[in-house]
Structures are given as structure tokens and as C-alpha cells.
């Protein structure tokens, strides 16, 4: 998909992914899917909503994943 999106779960990322890490991955995903690096003014709201939705889904996914051999994540 997009090589600049890094894996955000252990062991690829030994520490807990930060909100900044999650938002950066979401932004890269939305850029790739939309084909826009930066949307035009009339698309900005939809673009920003998509980034937030992807970031929220990513945070939920990472919070729910159980990675064997990794320390338990704290909520």
C-alpha cells in the first residue's frame, strides 16, 4: 500500500504508539487513497474528517490487538 506507513504494534514498534504516530499513519493513508498530498479548500473538511476517522479506528485496533510475547498494553 504505502511504504511510508510504519507498523505501530510490537515488536515493530517496541514502545506504545503515540497519538502523533497514529495521526501520521492516518494522514499518509488518506493521502494515498485520495491522491491528494494536500486537498483543495473545498475538500479540506472531508479530508480532515477522514484522517480523524482513520486515526480513531487505528487507535481502537491497536488497543484491541493482543500481540503474543509482547507486554500487555495499558489503556
- Which residues are CB-contacts of 12 (< 8 A; sequence separation ≥ 6)? 6
Residue 15 confidence (pLDDT): 77
**pTM for the full model?**
0.80
> What are the contacts of 17-26 at 24+ separation with CB within 8 A?
17/62, 19/55, 19/59, 22/55, 22/58, 22/59, 22/62, 23/51, 23/55, 25/54, 25/55, 25/58, 26/51, 26/52, 26/54, 26/55, 26/58
- Which residues are CB-contacts of 61 (< 8 A; sequence separation ≥ 6)? none
- Decide if 2 contacts 28 (C-beta within 8 A): yes
Residue 9 confidence (pLDDT): 81
pLDDT tens string, the chain, 75 residues long: the values are 456 778 888 777 767 889 999 999 999 999 999 999 999 999 999 999 999 999 999 999 998 988 776 565 555
Amino acid at each position: 500500500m504505502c511504504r511510508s506507513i510504519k507498523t505501530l504494534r510490537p515488536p515493530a514498534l517496541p514502545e506504545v504508539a503515540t497519538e502523533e504516530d497514529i495521526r501520521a499513519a492516518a494522514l499518509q493513508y488518506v493521502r494515498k487513497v485520495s491522491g491528494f498530498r494536500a486537498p483543495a479548500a473545498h475538500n479540506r473538511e472531508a479530508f480532515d474528517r477522514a484522517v480523524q476517522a482513520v486515526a480513531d479506528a487505528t487507535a481502537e485496533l491497536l488497543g484491541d490487538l493482543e500481540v503474543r510475547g509482547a507486554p500487555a498494553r495499558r489503556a
